[in-house]
Amino acid sequence: MPNWIAVCMLSDIPVLGSRRVARDRGPQVALFRTADDRVHALLDRCPHKAGPLSQGIVFGDAVACPLHNWTIALDTGCAREPDDGRTPVFQVKLEEGQVMLDRDELDTVGIDLPPVAAGPCTRATC
């Protein structure tokens, strides 16, 4: 049985856009909003070269990875042909405008993978 926690409001995710959810370990989780207000959650990591899917372009029920344009289905996390691979998917529930994720999945799914390095570097050794 899912252990639902609120992570943001639906209005916090741009239409045909994304928002990231930070975790203590592993890559962040990317939330994607479709044109008809459905929300999907994937590990923010393309199965090809670990590109940050949250920075990709959302179209229909898919997101295009910003690194090599792989198309990833939002409902299954599977790459569309001719590409092959899959990124983990997280359960999502919408309740009164709140986006909710399963805490147990957040604590366990994909935590063994290194976080994706995306955006400006903030370490002093860069």
Q: How far, in Å, CA of 4 to CA of 23, rounded? A: 15
Q: How far, in Å, CA of 10 to CA of 72, rounded? A: 21
pLDDT, position 1: 85
Domains annotated on the chain, with CATH? 4-108 (2.102.10.10)
Query: What digits encode the pLDDT tens for the residues 8-40?
Result: 999 999 999 999 999 888 899 999 999 999 999
Q: How far, in Å, CA of 16 to CA of 34, rounded? A: 5
Q: What is the pTM of this model?
A: 0.89
Count of other CB atoms within 10 angstroms of residue 61? 15
Q: How far from chain centre, in Å, is Cα 47?
A: 12
* CA distance to 17, 49, 70, 86, per residue, from 83 (Å): 23, 12, 7, 10
Query: What digits encode the pLDDT tens for the residues 74-99?
Result: 999 999 999 999 999 999 999 999 99
